[in-house]
Structure 1
Amino acid sequence: MTTDRDLHDHLIGQQGSRADLNTPVLILDIDALDRNIAAMAGLAAHHGVALRPHAKTHKSVEIARRQQAAGAVGLCCAKIGEAEVLASGGVTGILITSPVAAPGAVNRLAALAGRTEGLMAVVDHPGVAARIDAALGEAAATLEVVIDIDPGSGRTGVASADAAVALAKVIAASSNLEYRGVQFYCGSQQHIERYADRRAAIVDRTAYLQSVIAALTDAGFAPVLVTGSGTGTHRIDLDLGIFTELQAGSYVFMDKQYCDCDLTGDGDQPPFEVALSVDARVVSANHSGLVTIDAGYKSLSTDGGVAVVQRGAPETAAFAFMGDEHAALIAPGIGTQLSPGDPVSLTVPHCDPTVNLYDSYHVVADDTLVDIWSVSARGCAR
C-alpha cells in the first residue's frame, strides 16, 4: 500500500509544495495551530484554571505534546484506545471522559493505570466502579476517578445529586479507587450560535451543577476537580468560575460549526484561527455552473453540515456531496473559471470525525509542506 510518506516525503521543505500534494489530503497550518494552542493556554492561565484539552479532536501524539509544552496539565481522551496510544507516546495526565464499562476494556484500564503517570477515568455507575476496583486489585494498581454528571442529555453520567453522593460513597469504600471530583460536559449547548442564547443555557445548567456539588460537599465529598466545558462555552464557563479545568478541544483547528458560533459575545473576530482544511482538486468541469471535486463522503464528515470553500474557488460557491468520492461546487460560471486539476481548499464541517478519516496530517507553513504527522489514535474507538 502506498502511504502518505511514500507519496509526499520528497516534498517536505520544498517551497510551495502544498500545491503538489495528492488529494484529497488533510492540511494543518502549523503556525495557526500554535497560535491557537497559545491563545487557549494563555486564557486559562489568566483565569487561574487548568487546561486539559480533549484529544478526541486531533487524536495526535504530536499535537498533544505541543499542548503540554504550552502548559496543559494533561489531555482528555474519549476512549481507552485513544488513551493507550497517547500514553505510549509519552503523554501524561490523561483523563478518559467516557465510562469504561466492558470487562475487556476495564482490564485494559487497570493495566494502563499501572504504567501511566496521572491517569484518571470517569465513572457513573456503582457496579462499574466495583468492577474497575476489582481489576485494579488484580493489577496491583490504583486509579483516580471522577464522577460523571449528566447535564440533561441522557448520554452518560449520574442522573441526580443523590446518585452522585451514592456513587461517591462506593468509591470511598473501595480499596483501589480515589475520588477526585466531578465532570460536567454540556455537549448539546456547545454549538448554540447566538452567544446570549448559549450563555443562558449554560447559566441554567451550571446552577444544576452547583446543586450537585453542594450535595457532595454536604456529604463530605467536596470535589477537588471540577472538569468540563468546551470550545463553544469556554468563555462563559470561565466567567461563571465553577470549573477548575477546561476540556476544550476543537479550538486547535476550528471548523465550520464553531466558525458559525459567536464564541465571545463581543462582536470581535473569532478568538481562534482556522488551522485545519481539506485540500481537493477539480476532476471535472463540463458544466458552466458546476465543477466536481475529488472529496466526497470518504473525505469529509457529514454530521455537521457541508464544507465551505476556503480558497481556490468563489467563497460563495455552494458545496453538495455527490457520493463517496466526489462533491460539487456550484456557482454561476464556475465551470468556466476552474479547470480539471485546479486545487481547492475547504473548511471542514466537523473536525473530529473528519480527522478520523485520514492517516496523516500534512503540516504546512506558508504553503510549504514541512512535516507529515500521524493521526496516531485514528480509529481507536474501543
Structure 2
Amino acid sequence: MTDEELHGALIGQQGSRAALNTPVLVLDRAALDRNIASMAALAAQHGVALRPHAKTHKSVDIARRQIAAGAVGQCCAKIGEAEVLADGGIEGLLVTSPVAAPAAIERLAALAARSPALMATVDHPDVVAAIARALETADATLEVVIDIDPGIRRTGVASAEAAVALAQAIATQPRLRYRGVQFYCGAQQHVEDFAERRAAIGERTDYLCAVIEALGEAGFTPAIVTGGGTGSHRIDLDLGVFTELQVGSYVFMDRQYLDCDLTGDGVVPFETSLAVDARVVSANHDLLVTIDAGFKSLSTDGGVATVLRGAPADTRFAFMGDEHAALIAPGIGATLRPGDAVTLTVPHCDPTVNLYDTYHVVADETLVAMWPVSARGRAR
C-alpha cells in the first residue's frame, strides 16, 4: 500500500502520529519552520543571500517554505533534482555538481530553456564547450559559476591559474554567462570542535580569496561567491567572503551536526525537526529489544541513530540487518513490549530522506500533511 492509502485518513485526527505504520519519516512542522526562519534571519542580518541545498530535503514543499522566508533559490546536486524542482515552480536553481555526460548536458540545456535564472557549475574547458554546443541546439542561455577545489580533489579547478583560464573559456561562449565561483569545504563541515573547524575554514578561505583576487586581476571579479554549509555557516558569515550560503541540513539537524559545536559556545542553534518513528517487534531478552527499522530505514554513513523518546536515556542502538535494529539497555526487555513506539534521530539526513517516499508532517502529535520526497532517487 502507498503512504496515502496507509495514512491519508489520519490527517487531522488528533494524536494520529501514534497510529502511523512504521518505520516512517516524521517531520515536525513547527520546528522546521523555526529552523528556516532562524537561518533566514541570520543571513539577512549579515547581508548574505541564502540558496539552500535541496539535496538535503529533495522536497518542493520545503523549497517553497525556504523561498517564502527569503531564499533566492535552491541548490541541487544533480540534474534530476533540478528538473523536479523546476517542474514544481521553483526558480533560481543552481546545479552544484559539474555536468559532463553527453545525455546530462543535453538535459541541462533543455532545463535552461525553461527554468528562469538557472545556474550550473563548471570546472573544465571541454565541458564548457560541450555545454555551449548543447545550448545552441536548445536555443538557450545559461549562467555558470566556476567550481573551485577546496583541497579534497573531488571536483573543481585546482589552481587560481586554472580558474582564470576557465573564465576566459567561458567568455568566448556567447550562450554562457559567467557569474562567479563556488567553494564548498565539505571535509571541514563535520569537524566537531568549533575552534578547530574555524581554523580549517579560515585557512581554506584565505586560498579562496587568492583565487578571487586572481580572477579580479584578469577582469573576472565574481558577482557571486557561493558555498559554505550548516557546519561552517557561522564562520563563513563572520569571515564575510561568501555572497550566498548553500546551507542544507539546518532544516533537520541530524546527528552528525548535533555532535558539532556550531556556534563556539555549545548552543545548538537549530532544532531537531526530522525523525524516524519505529516500533518494537520483539522483546524476549532482558538487555535488548528489536525494532522494525534497519539498514533500509536509516543511513549508515553517519554513525548510528539515538533514541529521542520511547526508551531509557542510556539506550544504545545497533543495526541488526536490513529490516531490524536492537535497542540495548539494562532491563529494556521488561520495560518495552512488542508494539511500543520509539522515535529515533537520523544519523545523516540526506541519504536517510532518500529512503522514503513521504514526509509525514506532524503538529502536536497530529498528522497534518503528507509531503512527497519529490526528488527521491533523482541521482542522474
Q: Same fold (TM over 0.5)?
A: yes
Aligned to 1:82: 81
Aligned to 1:299: 297
How far 1:35 moved relative to its partner? 0.2
How far 1:314 moved relative to its partner? 1.2
How far 1:206 moved relative to its partner? 0.3
Distance of 2:179 and 2:231 partners within structure 1: 25
Aligned to 2:4: 5
Aligned to 1:148: 147
Distance of 1:176 and 1:71 partners within structure 2: 29
Deviation readout 1:23-60 (Å, 9 max, x if unpaired): 00000000000000000000000000000000000000
Aligned to 1:70: 69
How far 1:322 moved relative to its partner? 0.2
Aligned to 1:288: 286
Match of 1:350 among 339, 348, 351: 348
Distance of 2:313 and 2:8 partners within structure 1: 31
SS of the aligned residue for 1:287 comes to coil
Distance of 1:325 and 1:45 partners within structure 2: 44
Match of 1:331 among 314, 329, 335: 329
Aligned to 1:106: 105
Aligned to 2:49: 50
TM-score scaled by length of structure 1 = 0.99
TM-score scaled by length of structure 2 = 1.00
Aligned to 2:226: 227
Aligned to 1:16: 15
Deviation readout 1:251-275 (Å, 9 max, x if unpaired): 000000000000000232x110000
Distance of 2:89 and 2:305 partners within structure 1: 34
SS of the aligned residue for 2:284 comes to strand
Instruction: State percent identity of aligned pairs.
Output: 76
Aligned to 2:196: 197
SS of the aligned residue for 2:192 comes to coil
Distance of 2:200 and 2:230 partners within structure 1: 15
Aligned to 2:217: 218
**1:122-201 → structure 2 map (5 Å cutoff):** 122-201=121-200
How far 1:315 moved relative to its partner? 2.4
SS of the aligned residue for 2:109 comes to helix
Deviation readout 1:224-283 (Å, 9 max, x if unpaired): 000000000000000000000000000000000000000000232x11000000000000
Deviation readout 1:283-310 (Å, 9 max, x if unpaired): 0000001000000000000000000000
Distance of 1:317 and 1:192 partners within structure 2: 25
What are structure 2's unaligned runs of at least 5 residues? none
Aligned to 1:257: 256
**1:307-326 → structure 2 map (5 Å cutoff):** 307-326=305-324
- The code of the aligned residue for 2:223 comes to V
Runs ≥4 residues deviating over 3 A: none
Aligned to 1:31: 30
SS of the aligned residue for 2:70 comes to coil
Aligned to 1:375: 373
How far 1:200 moved relative to its partner? 0.3
- The code of the aligned residue for 2:374 comes to S
Distance of 2:29 and 2:105 partners within structure 1: 37
Q: 1:308 touches 1:315 (CA, 8 Å); kept in 2?
A: no
Distance of 2:115 and 2:266 partners within structure 1: 43
SS of the aligned residue for 2:276 comes to strand
Q: How many residues align?
A: 380
How far 1:175 moved relative to its partner? 1.8
Deviation readout 1:321-359 (Å, 9 max, x if unpaired): 000000000000000000000000000100000000000
How far 1:316 moved relative to its partner? 1.5
Q: 1:94 touches 1:118 (CA, 8 Å); kept in 2?
A: yes
Distance of 2:313 and 2:99 partners within structure 1: 43
Aligned to 1:363: 361
Distance of 1:314 and 1:187 partners within structure 2: 34
Aligned to 1:118: 117
